[in-house]
Every structure is written in C-alpha cells, then in structure tokens.
Chains A and B, each alone.
Chain A
Amino acid sequence: MTAEPLPEHPDFLWRNPEPRSSYDVVIVGAGGHGLATAYYLAKNHGITNVAVLEKGWLAGGNMARNTTIIRSNYLWDESAAIYEYALKLWEGLPEELDYDFLFSQRGVLNLAHSLQDVREGVRRVNANRLNGVDAQWLEPDEVAKVCPILNLSSRTRYPVLGGTFQPRAGIAKHDHVAWALARRADEIGVDLIQGCEVTGFLKDGDRVVGVETNRGRILAGRVGLASAGHSSVLAERAGVRLPVQSHPLQALVSELHEPVHPTVVMSNHVHVYVSQAHKGELVMGAGVDSYNGYGQRGSFHVIEQQMAAAVELFPVFARAHVLRTWGGIVDVTPDASPIIGTTPVENLYVNCGWGTGGFKATPAAGWTFAHTIATGEPHPLNAPFALERFATGALIDEHGAAAVAH
C-alpha cells in the first residue's frame, strides 16, 4: 500500500475581475458555502450576475482549515434531512464539477466509552435508520474489524464499549472542493473577488441595497452573508443581532505515514478525532477553546489532551511527530445547529452558525441558501433552521451529534 498522489489541477481556475458597480446578488465570504451558493444560484436559478466578495484569499478561512470529515449521522429529523441531502450531493459532485477532489467514503466510526455513550449511540443509529441514513451499531469485536489499529483493551482508562458506524461517510480534499466550485462558478459568469472586505451595508429604510467595501461601494439586489466566524460582527453592521459566539477551533497534522488508518474515528468522550489524509498525514482535531476569540490559534492544553487520548486509542501513533497546528474561528449557536434564512432586514440573508461542522454541509448549504436568496423564501430543508427558532423555542439540539465539545 502506498499513499495516493493528489490529482493534477488545471492551471487556470478563475478570473480575477475588478468589482463592478452593481450585481443582482452579492455573497459575502468565499469559503465553501459562499462558492457553493454562487454555483447553485447560477445552476438552479439562472442567476449569474453574482459577485462573491472575500476579504482574504479564496477559501482561506475555515474552508482551508478544517479536518474535512463528511457524514450525515445527526440525531434530529431536520438535521438528518439536510446533512443527508448534502451527502447525496457530495456523491455526485466530482462528476458534476468534473474535478476529482478525492471524496473518499471510508466510513466514520463514533466511539462509545460509557453506558451513556452506548445508549446515545444506539438511539442515534435507530434515529438515523428511520431517516434513511446508513448507520450501524458495532460491538467492540466489530469495531476491531473496521479499524484494526484501535486499542480495544479493556484496561484503558475509558475502554471502547462499541461505536456507531456510517459506511457512506468519509473525507474529501477540502481545498480542491473549493477550487472545483470556484472554477465552475467562474465559468458560468460569477465574479469571484478576493481582497475585498465588506465593511458596511447600504440601506434604504429597512432594505439592504448594497455593501460598502475597501474597494468601494457595490450595489446589490440581494446580499447573502456566508462569513462563518465573522457572521455576527458583520450582521451587526446591518443592524441584525445573531445568537452566535465565535470560538477558536484548532487541528493538527503529523508527518506522512504509510496508510495505516482505514476509516475516520471520532470520540466525543476522550475527545479526539483522527483520519489519515490521502498523502498520509494523520489529521487530528478536538473541541473548541472554551472562550470567545478571533485569534485564529488554539490553546496548547487542548492539543495536549487530544494527543493523550489519541495515543491511548492508537498506541501505534506514539512516535508520530506533529508537523503543523493551526486554528480557525467558528461561530457557534446555542443549539449547535446552523442558521440559514431571512433576516429582519429585507433582501439580507444569512448562512452562519455551522460551528465546528459546516464543511460536510457545503453542497446543501449552498443549495438551500441559493434557493432562499433566489426566491426570498426558505427551501423546505432549511426552513427549520430559521433565526426565529430562538424565539419560538423550536430548537434543533445537536450538541450530541455535533461530536465536538462546545
């Protein structure tokens, strides 16, 4: 076995146009969600007079920093519906975009280490099946077959008592996903504008009519925010308060190794998740830093704890060297579910609050957000994820299935 080489990508991916003075739709943020929204606005709704404005470089935010895990084994009906829709889109996307971004359905194993974990896991498997999501409960001997390098000794501090397994889940090469979406959106006529920070909004009464940027004013029929960690800072400038808190979330990779780790393993209880990238690095993550922050770096004690957990679960990793650590800023909501929908400001739409888990949703976030912007109404898949749920109380509490502490 040798590690897979990365696919070649074409030299020319997108133009770098000057911003025009007006667009039908302006999307703020060229992460995966902003790019997918632009792509589906064009593809599903024929709206091509669109600009995606990015303050840094294309897909340099959380899109470039995440651990690329894709799965749909969420607990509640609303979440299972939208994440499973995303997973189905992922399954067709490499062909549709004609770009091999190494979507690898190697499965995701969520380990249980306590009786409570076991009960929660079995309940989730049953809920998933009722929602048409592939899910299995595995006893420890079955876990061993899926991931032979896991330490299944009963003498560890938190022995593995079983796990949930979603075979269709997996990973994808995140920056290639962004480039694939960007290339196609660009071909259809969308302007992708880097180095363009939105600093304010142009309003006519209660209606947004454009944005202020460091490169001048840009008029817009409709404006969609897809600015992840900065969503509340930005929305506030339009007079909209969002129930999100920004936290640093970090990840790390080891040096390259021969392929040893066949699936994705996550543990909520001892708090680490590990997969092996196509080139061979071990990719690891854990929970968010407890405090609010915009510093794009994480605390060292989080690394220390996740390493301790990883080495106990995978003794074979004990001598692996860490090559690189980095952090992103994620916006977390009180129920650990996203907000996608309208705002109290007319023609201003928001897609945010994906917290630690929005990469997997990229195609469905784009699909539903494009629908909402194009029609002014939510798609049935994102209707439950409206801002209003915090006042009505119809929360979608996914803290358990989010699989990362926050």
Chain B
Amino acid sequence: MLLISCPWCGPRDETEYHYGGQAHVPYPETTADLTDEQWAEYVFYRDNPKGPFAERWMHSTGCRRWFNVLRDTVTYEVLSSYRLDEPRPELPQAGGNNR
C-alpha cells in the first residue's frame, strides 16, 4: 500500500485516496479549431512512462481536495506531492510527462 502525503492533511494510506491519472493535462485553448485527432489526443491519450510520473490524487475520505503527486511507476516510491497551483518539482532523475 502506498503512503501518500496530502498537502493539507499529511501522510495517509493509499486507501484514503482516489486516483485521477496523469497531471498537467491542460484543456485545449482553441477548441473550435481542433481536429478529431487532436480531440482524441486530449480525451484518450495519456503518458504511460516507466519511471517518475506526475499524477493526480484526491483525498476522498479526508479533505476531498485534488493535488498532484510525483511517483515512480517502477519502484512505487512517492517522490513528492504538491498543490495544483504549484509547479511540478524539478527532480534530477525525472523523466515522464514534464512538458
């Protein structure tokens, strides 16, 4: 079981949280001009890296707030957790979706 630190409530067991997939996926800006392929990209395509991954979690049985976690998908180590208005922390070894 993962031990994840909610930015507001502190470290809690994984079972208190709900997973929300990849973080930092912005809603497209010029929606009227998007092709079907670009919409598909926004709706269905997500990164799936082996290694550090920035993802969203929600503290569903606690404060019920969303936040971001940087986690290694191979070792399952939680590298960092941060609020939605904070930038993704720079990690020397970070790969994945840092774009």
Contacts and interface: CB of A to CB of B under 8 A. Distances in A.
B48 A292 contact: yes
Nearest to B13: A301
A111 B74 CA distance: 35
A315 interface: no
Given A293-B73, A295-B74, A390 B45 contact: yes
B73 A292 contact: yes
Nearest to B36: A391
Sorted nearest first, the 9 A-B pairs with minimum C-beta distance are: A290-B19, A391-B40, A232-B48, A243-B44, A391-B36, A390-B40, A390-B44, A334-B44, A243-B45
A299 B37 CA distance: 36
Contacts of B74: 293-295
Interface string B55-99: 100000000000000010111100000000000000000000000
Contacts of B43: 334, 390
Contacts of B19: 290-291
A260 to B, nearest CB: 32
B1 A294 contact: no
A241 B53 CA distance: 17
B18 interface: yes
Nearest to B53: A292
Secondary structure call for the B interface: mixed
Interface string A293-309: 11100011100000000
B36 A243 contact: no
A293 to B, nearest CB: 5
A245 interface: yes
Interface residues of A, number: 22
A233 B53 CA distance: 13
Secondary structure call for the A interface: loop
Interface string A380-396: 00000000001111000
A4 B45 CA distance: 46
A172 interface: no
A244 interface: yes
A292 B44 contact: no
Contacts of B48: 232-233, 242, 244-246, 292
B98 to A, nearest CB: 15
Contacts of B73: 246, 291-295
Interface in B13-27: 14-15, 18-19, 21
A203 B73 CA distance: 29
B46 interface: yes
Interface in A276-296: 290-295
A291 B57 CA distance: 10
21 contacts: A233-B50, A242-B45, A243-B45, A243-B46, A245-B46, A246-B48, A246-B73, A290-B18, A291-B19, A291-B71, A292-B48, A292-B55, A293-B73, A294-B50, A294-B73, A295-B73, A300-B1, A390-B43, A390-B45, A391-B36, A393-B36
Contacts of A290: 18-19
A243 B40 CA distance: 9
Contacts of A292: 21, 48, 53, 55, 73
A241 B45 contact: yes
A246 B55 CA distance: 14
A295 B75 contact: yes
Nearest to A246: B48
A179 to B, nearest CB: 29
A245 B14 CA distance: 19
Interface in B25-46: 36-37, 39-40, 43-46
Contacts of A295: 73-76
A300 B14 CA distance: 11
Contact of B37 (A233, A242, A391): A391
A353 to B, nearest CB: 11
Given A233-B50, A301-B14, A392 B36 contact: yes
Contacts of B21: 245, 292
Given A242-B45, A291-B2, 8 more contacts: A233-B48, A242-B48, A243-B46, A246-B73, A292-B48, A295-B75, A334-B43, A391-B37
Nearest to B48: A232
Contacts of B49: 233
